[in-house]
Structures are given as structure tokens and as C-alpha cells.
Chains A and B, each alone.
Chain A
Amino acid sequence: MKQLILVWLLLVGGTLACVAKEAAPVMGDAAMQERVMKLSGELRCLVCQGQSLADSHSDFAIDMRNKIMALMNQGMSDQEVKDFLVDRYGEFILYSPPFSGITTMVWLGPLVLFTIGAGVLFFNLKRRRKTVTETTLSPEEESRVHSLLNKESGDKHA
């Protein structure tokens, strides 16, 4: 039991150490740090474009986090910090693009494609049901089918 607790402590300690390392470049009190990390989670690291500023360990992300903290210390609101960065780096730095201009396509595109897809599927299924029910066999055809099927199974057994 003692050993288990030790292992658990080690694991938890290890995780905490990782978290501490991630936040290390940004100094300040815990509440401010949380604010910085939350906001940088909504901003893109321009060097490693698949990551947010909070996730990235690149020099650029560290610089940006420090800058964000400096701006917050000057008394800027989250929105003002965002505007500051957009003025310099462009809207691309925002992880979720704004709902305006060409980026409307990004927001509405999936919905439009889904509607088109669902529509095509709906009409195709409707049409298919009609064709399936319409196919009926005449008595002669039915007896031919039977004889063919019997012949086939007979061949296989032979």
C-alpha cells in the first residue's frame, strides 16, 4: 500500500512538474498566469500553425505569452490584447476566425455541404424505394428464376 502511494505521488508530482515547465516562461501571480494561458489558448502560434500559443514551446510563442502578460499588466482587457495582436499579425492569429467577410465560408461551409449531402441522400433513397417496389416479376419469369436457381444448386452439388 505504501508503495502504491509512493508511485501515485511520483506520477502526480511528474505531471505537476510538466505543467510548471509549460508555464515557466511567463512570470507573475497565478491568476494572471491563468488569464494569459486561457487567452493564448485562443491564439495561433504563427511558427507552428497547428498549435495555439499556449501549447507551443517555440520562442515565438514564449515571446507572445510574455507580451500578452505585459499588455495585461498595462491594464488591457482580453479583447484589447487580441486587437493589439490582430493589428500586427492579422486575423490569422485568432484560432477561431471572426464571423465576417470571407471567413463566413469557413463557418457556414460545413453546414451548406451537409445540407447538400443530406438532400442528395434523401432524394436518392426516395427514388430507389420507388424503383425497388416497382420491380415485380411475371409468373413466367418467376418460374424461370426458380428453374435457374435449382439448376445452379444442382450443379454445385454434382
Chain B
Amino acid sequence: MGRFLVPLGVFGLLAVFLFIGLSLKPSEIPSPLLDKAAPVFSLPQLHEPDKTFAPAELRGQVWLFNVWASWCVSCRQEHPVLMQLARTGEVPIYGLNYKDAREDGLRWLQQFGNPYVASAYDNAGQVGIDYGVYGVPETYVIDREGVIRHKHIGPISPDVLTNEILPIVRKLKG
């Protein structure tokens, strides 16, 4: 009997590890920016190039910072979810138009609708680097003190919105 217990135990342990491995997402790297102040920047706005957008202006409110681009296929996928959220007005969404051509970004919003209060225009992608963006879309939840409380990598599905993002937003709003 004892002869079988050891291999069985090893097999069981291996199975447990492999099973955990199945549910891991290696493409989602935890951000070192979590619970740190959102990096400061000031960029021209997408719609009005003479105006700037700076996260510092949003002190005192909870907001979502969504990195998007017209060339990003998954952004199309999450777009209806953002539109829906914008309609409820539960939390303001600000965009970072990442490494895009201005006319492409504007056309994209015209075609599919604009869920953003405003979008910052990051043509060079430098702000993206400061935020550790490596795959678009990415979404940050930023609190009243300007601290990043959550980061979601990849498109926001309705499920992610209701079970992951909105609970955090509600908690932060108190």
C-alpha cells in the first residue's frame, strides 16, 4: 500500500499545481503602480488640441483612465461596455489615445460613439510608458487622492465591469 502512496501523492501535488496553472494568466502582469500616485503628465486633448489634460485636475473624484487606440482591435470589443457605463454616469471615463493619428482617433469616436469626458492625445506613447502600458486596452481606477487603485489589462467585458471594476469604484466613492 505504502508503495503506491508516494507516487499518488506526487501525482496529486502535480495535478494541483497544473490545475492552478490553468487559471493563471501570464499575460497579465501585476502593475507596480498599484496603490501609488498616478504618474503626472500634461497632454493636449484629442478633440481640442489647444486645451491640455492633466490628471491633477481630477483630484477629488474617482475616475477611470482608459488607454485606447483606433488601431486596437480589442478596444472595439470593450467599446459598447464603456458606452453603457458612460450612459449610467456612475463614474467619469477619461481616455488616453495611445500612439494614434489624431484624425484616426477622432473618426473612430465619431463612428462608434464617444464614452470619454475627454481624451488625452499621446501620439509619442511617452505617457503610456510612464503608466506601464504594454497592451491596449488597459484601464486604471484612480481615487480621489490621485492614487491608482486598480488596473485592468485587456478589454472590459460586462462581467469584468460589474464584478471587478464597479465594486472598487463604489467602495472608493464610499
The residues of A with any CB-CB pair to B shorter than 8 Å are 46-47, 49, 59-60, 63-64, 67, 86-92
Contacts and interface: CB of A to CB of B under 8 A. Distances in A.
Nearest to B31: A90
Contacts, number: 32
Interface in B51-108: 99
B134 A60 contact: yes
Contacts of B134: 46-47, 60, 89
A91 B29 CA distance: 10
A153 B33 CA distance: 79
Interface in B28-46: 29-33
Interface of B: 26-27, 29-33, 99, 125, 129-132, 134-135
A144 B26 CA distance: 64
A92 B29 contact: yes
B135 A89 contact: no
Q: Which of B27, B130, B132 has the most CB of A within 10 A?
A: B132
A87 B32 contact: yes
B129 A88 contact: yes
A63 B31 contact: no
A46 B29 contact: yes
A150 to B, nearest CB: 35
A47 B125 CA distance: 16
Nearest 3 CB-CB pairings of A with B: A88-B132, A46-B134, A90-B32
Q: Which of A60, A64, A89, A91 has the most CB of B within 10 A?
A: A89
B132 A63 contact: no
